[in-house]
Amino acid sequence: MITTTPLVEHARLPSEAELCARFNVSRTVVREALNQLVFERVIYKLQGKGAFVASRREDQDFLGSNIGFSGEWRERNRPVSRRILRQEIEQADERAAHFLRLTTDRTVIGLDRVLNVDGVPRILVYTKVVAAIAPGLERIQLENRSLYETLFRKFGLKMRRAERWLAAVNASAQQAQLLGVAPETPLIAIESISFATHEEPVEYYIAYYRTDTGRLHFSVG
């Protein structure tokens, strides 16, 4: 049906009951077929909303650059929106303090957000920014602003390089809800530390990237 009818990306498929009636098959057969299409990344499911036609998986280069997730999509003229989950001053945990080289003063600005492209959640990010070098960041409205652009324009902090680590994980119930996928959906976990001028660590984050909507691309050499 998807390949023989002009269904657009993110179009909602008929319900399981409608598919059973249309093709005169059992609900078990329909569910197995839908699960196979999810596995093949032809469709995706949103809890409580149904199944939808998946977009073509797009290559993304933000891991190999310093422009960030939002910056890459802005260069492609694609709308990026942000859902801010939390934005406040806090004390860094042991891991964040280690990466940010914080010893006596562990004050950071915690920023948790979901980034959407074309209205679809793509990546869940838990960020820590050193509070001493970005005072007042916790009060800046970031729903419609790139974090990297804000750090540069407001505080003169331009990211020079970053170190990043990737791991394959399955979505927890909370992550799945925020990203609009089923629990246990495969995600890519990205751990990153970004440096400004003079090798100064500025930002540490852990992000969870949906694998059904895109691929991460790297250039070597």
* pLDDT tens figures, 67-117: 677 777 777 777 889 999 999 999 999 999 999 999 889 999 999 999 998
Q: For residues 194 and 114, state if they share a domain.
A: yes
Domain containing 187 equals 58-216
Per the structure, how many domains does the chain have? 2
For the chain, the straight-line distance linking the first and the last C-alpha, in angstroms and rounded, comes to 43
Q: For residues 133 and 157, state if they share a domain.
A: yes
* pLDDT tens figures, 154-207: 999 988 888 989 999 999 999 999 999 889 999 999 999 999 877 889 999 999
> Which is higher by pLDDT, 4 or 197?
197
Smallest CA-to-CA distance from 209 within 43, 57, 34 is with 57
pLDDT at 38: 81
Q: For residues 91 and 168, state if they share a domain.
A: yes
Is residue 181 within 8 Å of residue 122, measured between CB atoms?
no
Please give the average per-residue pLDDT across 16-34, as a whole number.
90
Q: Rounded to two decimals, what is the model's pTM?
A: 0.73
Q: For residues 48 and 91, state if they share a domain.
A: no
Q: For residues 64 and 162, state if they share a domain.
A: yes
> Tokens 């569910």 appear where?
31
Q: For residues 81 and 160, state if they share a domain.
A: yes
pLDDT at 216: 74
Q: Is residue 144 part of a domain?
A: yes
